[in-house]
């Protein structure tokens, strides 16, 4: 027998709307989301920025690797090689990402499938928000509006180019729904489903969002646990703590396959530590609160042109966007009087306020408090991302508040006059804001342009508010029925968010054409690469002859890349850049003529091969001393290997004219095989990134790989002919696989047992 806590229900209000069907609500949400992304769906426009430069390349690389029968634990094509799966944003084991493998054709995943994956998650977040609102007792017609407000919000639209953000945020309503049922119904089966859902959502690869979700669930548990203690006493409430703990424990088990390798990677990456000052970038300024009413008052960033006039980096536009839409904002405000009698409204209002105050970052005290006192919050930057709490909370409040709003407009003339009056006064105030020059520079080269941008945003908001006021007045005067009014408000919200962000999401660059631009060069490099292993340096400053992640698209070895978790030991210190390129097996290097504004590529003759043997070693354990030596003329990598730990033997004599051989016979993502022969013992050097988890096997016997020359792999080898294999076999991955498989298996058994136990007839 399950238990359900007593709580205020929105159903007690006077029903104004007929009960709609769930299928109709789902269709409306899906239709409006698809209409919003109509140009993407029709391939008239394309997702851009991170989608183009990062998301699509990693999805293509992962899908193609799976299609070729390989698990891409390692990526040798960017940054001299780096762990691919351990870079958590790869989202390798997130099931919708894995399904992309089915759409690989001609050794390529078409970008369109990845765009469809993004849009599908907007539908998912809307539908799951609808069901969550229903679970809170909000009538279906009003719950539908919560389902529209969440995906069609400024926060979500601004992150459309960030697939990892969208995918994970799409699962939050379902996760909360399952946690709620777990606690209120004391349900073991919901605990299992919720833990699996949370763990699977975490596999998307956005640990910052995972932290935010878990902390949100913690706050929810605290409120529900306290309410249960008040109603039923501590002893009867204790099972809630066990169920909540099981919920989180299951999620940790599910995500282990991804998180254990990531935990191994992070300390070696450039993001191992973040100073407070760096975490504060992407804070919402106090002046930006005006964008709750005037969303593009400070301009907008688009791929084609940017009008964002705040003195900030362009990316802060989407990191500080938190526009709800005028109807959800009004409806959420209408729910606030319910705070005293409905703890659900109080909770979401409180969480929303917390998220907004934290998102203000170093402009207020909340962010610093969390950075200093709450574990995990010191590891991530961009406080503006916690505006998610504000968006999520306000979307649910909109369902509660819209019902309250309709009740007041139809049942109280006095309340109706106040509400409609506020809307019309808001329209006038919105228009006057720009005319008064609010937050605008009074002088300067761009003052007139800034005023025009602000005026356009203010006029748009004023017109929208006037239309909104007319709709509300029509409902109050019974010119339209409540159902028609709700339909008009849904259309109004759709138009409002189209005006806000339709141009933003629609980029002009076709990803297929973008990555095909250097097709002739790539073709030549791949043809030559069939006979020799070498790398390409394709970037000098901001000039690039190929995209940084072109290597993952065309599988050519590049010195560049684009990723959040770049390894600290990326490029070895040498006397100059050419010598660094020589050491890293870079055969072709970009050549830029800044005066003529041209670029090309030149062939080097001094580069070292991908695999070679030297016979002299030097051990320098201190990093600073190692750096100094490698930057000196004494360092000749073709003759000497510099170790940081002492190998089994240290030969220091220099040897000339030794007829060694090191031929790569097989090269896959996770392994390299070589035939090696040498007349005397020496050191096999692989111009491959050193990383924990790579093991060497010489004639079948496992040998240790040492870090040499700052970031390369060195293998001491005896005289003679040998078969050498190096394989990427990270223990963290193996352990994670077993933990995840074990957790999923036990969860399935537990769920089946729980369902069977419920169906078992109870003795009378």
Average pLDDT on 393-407 reads 96
pLDDT band at 762 (very low <50, low <70, confident <90, very high): low
**333: pLDDT strictly greater than 60:** yes
Neighbours of 486 (CB within 10 A): 22
* Residue 643: CATH number of its domain: 2.60.40
Number of domains the chain contains: 3
The verdict on residue 761 lying in a domain is no
In the predicted structure, residue 198 carries a pLDDT above the cut 70 = yes
How far apart, in whole angstroms, are the C-alpha atoms of residue 551 and residue 543? 17
Structure tokens at 547: 């995209």
- Among 479, 509, 535, where does a domain finish? 479
The residue among 575, 603, 631 that closes a domain is 603
Tell me: do 638 and 702 sit in the same domain. Answer: yes
Within this chain, do residues 713 and 621 fall inside the same structural domain, yes or no?
yes
Asked if 85 and 92 count as a contact pair (C-beta separation under 8 A), the reply is yes
Q: What is the pLDDT of residue 284?
A: 96
Shared domain for 557 and 639, answered yes or no, is: no
Q: pLDDT exceeding 90 applies to what percent of the chain?
A: 89
Burial string for 1-26 (b: 16+ CB within 10 Å, else e) reads: eeeebeebebeebeebbeebeeeebb
- Estimate the crossing angle of helix 22-36 against helix 140-149, to 10 degrees: 20
pLDDT tens, position by position, 138-150: 999 999 999 999 9
pLDDT of residue 9: 44
Helix (H, G, I), strand (E, B) or coil at 555: coil
Shared domain for 441 and 534, answered yes or no, is no
- Kindly state whether residues 625 and 722 are assigned to the same domain: yes
Picking from 569, 624, 681, 693, the residue whose alpha carbon sits closest to that of residue 272 is 569
Name which of 632, 630, 631, 637 is nearest 606 in CA terms.
637
Q: Tell me, what's the pLDDT at 271?
A: 73
Asked whether residue 615 falls in the same domain as residue 724, the answer is yes
Find the range with the poorest average confidence among 267-271, 607-611, 666-670, 714-718: 267-271
* Residue 154 in domain: no
* pLDDT per position as a tens digit, 158-190: 999 999 999 999 999 999 999 999 999 999 999
Using 50, 70 and 90 to split pLDDT, how confident is the model at 45? very high
Is 573 a domain residue?
A: yes
Predicted TM-score (pTM) of this structure: 0.94
**pLDDT computed for residue 3 by the predictor:** 44
Q: Is residue 246 part of a domain?
A: no
Is 145 contained in some domain? no
Assigned domain for 459 exists: yes
CA distance 108 to 67: 10
Q: Which residue has the tokens 């299928």?
A: 23
- Structural tokens at position 321: 């966007």
Average pLDDT in the 455-477 region?
96
pLDDT score at 11: 40
Question: Out of 411-415, 433-437, 598-602, 656-660, which region has the weakest mean confidence (pLDDT)?
Answer: 656-660
Q: And the tokens for 383?
A: 């406080």
Residue 290 is assigned to a structural domain of this protein: no
| 3-state DSSP of 370-401 | HHHHCCCHHHCCCHHHHHHHHHHHHHHHHHHH
Query: What number is the average pLDDT over the span 489-501?
Result: 97
Same domain flag for 569 and 627: no
Residue 598 has pLDDT above 90, yes or no: no
Per-residue pLDDT at 681 exceeds 70: yes
pLDDT at residue 221 tops 70? yes
Backbone φ and ψ for 321, nearest 5 degrees, come out as -90, 125
Answer whether 521's CB lies under 8 Å from 601's CB: yes
Q: How far apart are CA 277 and CA 576, in angstroms?
A: 32
pLDDT tens digits, one per residue of 52-88: 999 999 999 999 999 999 999 999 999 999 999 999 9
Range 403-415 average pLDDT? 92
Does position 391 have pLDDT exceeding 50, yes or no? Answer: yes
How high is the pLDDT of residue 272?
63
pLDDT tens digits, 250-298: 999 999 999 999 999 999 988 766 777 778 889 999 999 999 999 999 9
pLDDT cut 70: percent of the chain above it? 97
Task: State the residue range of the domain holding 706.
Answer: 611-729
| Pair (615, 721) in one structural domain | yes
- At 514-546, the pLDDT tens digits run 999 999 999 999 999 999 999 999 999 889 999
Same domain, 417 and 446: yes
Are 526 and 592 in a shared domain? yes
For residues 411 and 18, the model is more confident at 411
Cα–Cα nearest to 461, from 159, 32, 154, 148? 154
Residue range 716-758, pLDDT digits in tens: 999 999 999 999 999 999 999 999 999 999 999 999 998 888 8
Q: How far apart are CA 654 and CA 611, in angstroms?
A: 19
Q: What is the mean pLDDT of the chain?
A: 94
Query: Among 586, 603, 620, where does a domain finish?
Result: 603
Q: Is the pLDDT of residue 764 over 80?
A: no
Q: What is the pLDDT of residue 92?
A: 96
Clarify whether residues 551 and 594 are in a common domain: yes
Q: Do 537 and 599 fall into the same domain?
A: yes
Q: In the block, which residue shows the tokens 């804070």?
A: 283
Here the tokens at position 282 are: 């992407």
Q: Is 54 inside any structural domain? A: no
Beta strands 586-593 and 616-619 are unpaired
């Amino acid at each position: 027998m399950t238990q359900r806590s007593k709580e205020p229900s929105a159903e007690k209000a006077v029903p104004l709307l007929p009960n709609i069907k769930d299928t109709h609500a789902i269709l409306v949400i899906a239709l409006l989301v698809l209409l919003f992304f109509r140009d993407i769906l029709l391939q008239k426009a394309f997702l851009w920025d991170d989608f183009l430069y990062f998301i699509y390349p990693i999805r293509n690389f992962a899908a193609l690797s799976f299609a070729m029968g390989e698990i891409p634990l390692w990526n040798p094509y960017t940054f001299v090689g780096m762990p691919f799966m351990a870079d958590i944003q790869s989202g390798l084991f997130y099931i919708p990402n894995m399904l992309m493998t089915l759409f690989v054709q001609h050794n390529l995943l078409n970008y369109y499938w990845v765009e469809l994956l993004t849009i599908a998650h907007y539908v998912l977040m809307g539908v799951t928000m609808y069901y969550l609102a229903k679970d809170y007792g909000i009538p279906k017609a009003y719950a539908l509006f919560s389902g529209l407000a969440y995906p069609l919000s400024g926060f979500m639209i601004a992150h459309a180019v960030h697939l990892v953000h969208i995918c994970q945020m799409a699962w939050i309503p379902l996760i909360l729904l399952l946690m709620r049922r777990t606690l209120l119904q004391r349900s073991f089966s919901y605990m299992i489903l919720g833990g699996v859902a949370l763990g699977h959502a975490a596999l998307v690869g956005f640990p910052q969002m995972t932290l935010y979700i878990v902390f949100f669930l913690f706050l929810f548990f605290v409120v529900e646990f306290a309410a249960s203690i008040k109603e039923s006493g501590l002893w009867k409430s204790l099972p809630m703590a066990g169920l909540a703990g099981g919920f989180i424990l299951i999620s940790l088990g599910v995500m282990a396959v991804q998180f254990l390798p990531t935990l191994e990677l992070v300390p070696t990456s450039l993001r191992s530590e973040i100073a407070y000052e760096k975490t504060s970038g992407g804070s919402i300024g106090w002046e930006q609160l005006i964008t709750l009413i005037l969303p593009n008052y400070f301009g907008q960033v688009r791929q084609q042109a940017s009008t964002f006039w705040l003195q900030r980096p362009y990316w802060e536009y989407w990191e500080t966007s938190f526009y709800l839409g005028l109807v959800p904002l009004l409806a959420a405000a209408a729910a606030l009087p319910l705070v005293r009698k409905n703890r659900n409204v109080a909770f979401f209002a409180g969480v929303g306020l917390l998220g907004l105050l934290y998102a203000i970052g170093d402009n207020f005290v909340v962010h610093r408090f969390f950075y200093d006192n709450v574990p995990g919050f010191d590891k991530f930057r961009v406080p503006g991302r916690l505006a998610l709490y504000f968006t999520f909370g306000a979307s649910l409040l909109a369902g509660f508040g819209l019902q309250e709003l309709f009740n007041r407009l139809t049942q109280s003339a006095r309340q109706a006059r106040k509400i409609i009056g506020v809307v019309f006064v808001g329209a006038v105030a919105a228009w006057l804001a720009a005319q008064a020059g609010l937050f605008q520079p009074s002088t300067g080269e761009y003052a007139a342009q800034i005023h025009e941008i602000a005026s356009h945003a203010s006029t748009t908001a004023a017109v929208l508010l006037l239309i909104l006021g007319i709709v509300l007045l029509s409902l109050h005067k019974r010119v339209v029925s409540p159902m028609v009014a709700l339909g008009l408000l849904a259309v109004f919200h759709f138009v409002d968010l189209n005006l806000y962000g339709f141009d933003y999401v629609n980029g002009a660059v076709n990803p297929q054409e973008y990555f095909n631009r250097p097709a002739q060069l790539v073709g030549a490099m791949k043809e030559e690469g069939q006979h020799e292993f070498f790398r390409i340096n394709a970037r000098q400053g901001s000039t690039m002859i190929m995209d940084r992640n072109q290597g993952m698209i065309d599988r050519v070895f590049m010195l560049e890349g684009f990723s959040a978790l770049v390894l600290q030991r990326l490029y070895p210190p040498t006397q100059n850049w050419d010598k660094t390129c020589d050491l890293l097996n870079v055969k072709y290097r970009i050549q830029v003529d800044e005066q003529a504004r041209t670029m090309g590529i030149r062939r080097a003759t001094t580069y070292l091969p991908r695999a070679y043997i030297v016979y002299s070693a030097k051990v320098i354990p201190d990093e600073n001393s190692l750096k100094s030596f490698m930057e000196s003329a004494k360092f000749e990598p073709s003759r000497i290997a510099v170790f940081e730990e002492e190998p089994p033997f240290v030969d220091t004599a220099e040897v000339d004219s030794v007829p060694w051989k090191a031929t790569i016979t097989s090269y896959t993502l996770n392994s390299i095989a070589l035939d090696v022969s040498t007349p005397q013992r020496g050191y096999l050097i692989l111009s491959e990134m050193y990383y924990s988890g790579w093991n060497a096997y010489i004639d079948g016997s496992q040998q240790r790989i040492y870090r040499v020359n700052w970031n390369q792999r060195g293998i001491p080898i005896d005289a003679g002919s040998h078969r050498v294999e190096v394989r990427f076999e990270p223990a963290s991955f193996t352990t994670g696989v077993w933990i995840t498989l074990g957790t999923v298996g036990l969860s399935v058994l537990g769920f089946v047992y729980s369902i069977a136990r419920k169906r078992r007839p109870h003795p009378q």
